[in-house]
């Protein structure tokens, strides 16, 4: 069984495993309300994860069929994966921001083969070498976790209190990690009287020791030129100003110095953008930029799927530099190269 933690004030968490993932677990929060328990996120869609969630709920004194609602911070499968099963078992409502609900709706109608073709085209345009593209071209379309997620039946409206009887939980739109990511501000006195403004369920927006992945918003049917890193940095500053007494993130552990952590992350991305500009003294593709960026291990040791994520992150930083007028795409280059202005 995953560990269960009591955070006081009618809030507990369950560590739900993520199979074959270095993150290890998702922290699913159980919030008591006058109409029954409400979950913040649900964990990965996997039989062992489901068993852990059900056992954890029982340890909290909450049979799964008594869950009243599920608030999803964002659509990723380690957060939203088990939401459908929770709803089937309990009749609970599911709530999500409209921007991520749109992605869920499209994911449910998009064939796996379309995703493969889309990813291959994106990586080709980014300058990926043939040895990286070949496995994608040879792959057979198959069902992938997260491509048939549950469709939410309620909308989380930024700035508004959620309909949680006896609780004050306000939605804060924090795009960046996904276009519809939300943090949830519990506007109540901290049970241990810690200084600050309530508690914050931060999803993946603000984590104690990990820099959240900020890549391009992957969606085959969306041609919008978004600026995810710009969205993220703006959202971070908003959370920094909120100054919650305690942060309850979806991974790792709770922590108190939200403002300090926000400063660290803002500095991290500022340093990355500065380093990237120095690299762009010569024209480089997004793949070449990713090869030269600093990661938690050398490029040669980064596995296939993680390289795809790294390239997406490099592209998000390049797009931010272009938006700031500090870099530009070289006209007529194919694959596209970028250079400092």
- Show pLDDT as tens, one digit a residue, over the chain (341 residues): 569 999 999 999 999 999 988 889 999 999 999 999 999 999 999 999 999 999 999 999 999 999 999 999 999 999 999 999 999 999 999 999 999 999 999 888 877 788 888 889 999 999 999 999 999 888 776 655 555 789 999 999 999 999 999 999 999 999 999 999 999 999 999 999 999 999 999 999 999 999 999 998 877 777 778 899 999 999 999 999 999 999 999 999 999 999 999 999 999 999 999 999 999 999 999 999 999 999 989 999 999 989 999 999 999 999 999 999 999 999 999 999 999 99
Q: Tell the residue number behind the tokens 């340093």, with chain if given.
A: 271
Which class for 142: exposed (0-12), middle (13-18), buried (19 or more C-beta within 10 A)?
exposed
In this structure, what are the phi and psi dihedrals at residue 284, rounded to the nearest 5 degrees? Answer: -135, 145
d(CA 300, CA 289): 14
Report the Cα 167 to chain-centroid distance in Å. 25
- How far is residue 13's CA from residue 26's CA, in Å, rounded to a whole number? 9
List the structure tokens of 114: 């379309």
């Amino acid at each position: 069984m995953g560990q269960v933690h009591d955070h006081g004030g009618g809030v507990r968490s369950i560590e739900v495993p993520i199979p074959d993932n270095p993150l290890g677990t998702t922290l699913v929060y159980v919030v008591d309300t006058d109409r029954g328990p409400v979950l913040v996120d649900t964990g990965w869609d996997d039989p062992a994860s489901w068993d852990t969630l059900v056992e954890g709920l029982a340890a909290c004194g909450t049979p799964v069929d008594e869950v009243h609602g599920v608030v999803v911070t964002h659509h990723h499968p380690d957060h939203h994966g088990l939401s459908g099963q929770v709803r089937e078992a309990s009749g609970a409502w599911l709530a999500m921001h409209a921007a991520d609900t749109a992605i869920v709706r499209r994911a449910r109608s998009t064939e796996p083969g379309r995703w493969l073709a889309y990813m291959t085209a994106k990586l080709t345009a980014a300058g990926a070498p043939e040895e990286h593209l070949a496995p994608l071209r040879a792959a057979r379309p198959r069902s992938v976790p997260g491509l048939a997620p549950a469709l939410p039946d309620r909308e989380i409206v930024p700035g508004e209190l959620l309909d949680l009887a006896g609780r004050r939980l306000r939605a804060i739109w924090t795009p960046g990690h996904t276009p519809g990511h939300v943090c949830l501000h519990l506007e109540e006195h901290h049970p241990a009287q810690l200084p600050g403004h309530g508690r914050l369920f931060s999803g993946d927006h603000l984590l104690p020791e990990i820099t959240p992945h900020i890549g391009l918003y992957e969606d085959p049917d969306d041609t919008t030129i978004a600026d995810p890193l710009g969205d993220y940095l703006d959202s971070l500053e908003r959370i920094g100003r909120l100054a919650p007494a305690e942060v309850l993130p979806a991974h790792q552990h709770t922590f108190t110095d939200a403002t300090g952590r926000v400063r660290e992350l803002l500095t991290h991305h500022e340093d990355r953008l500065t380093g990237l500009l120095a690299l762009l003294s010569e024209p480089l593709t997004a793949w070449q930029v990713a090869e030269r960026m600093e990661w938690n291990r050398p490029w040669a040791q980064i596995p296939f799927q993680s390289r795809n994520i790294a390239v997406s992150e490099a592209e998000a930083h390049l797009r931010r530099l272009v938006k700031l007028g500090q870099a530009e795409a070289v006209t007529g280059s194919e694959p596209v190269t970028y250079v400092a202005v």
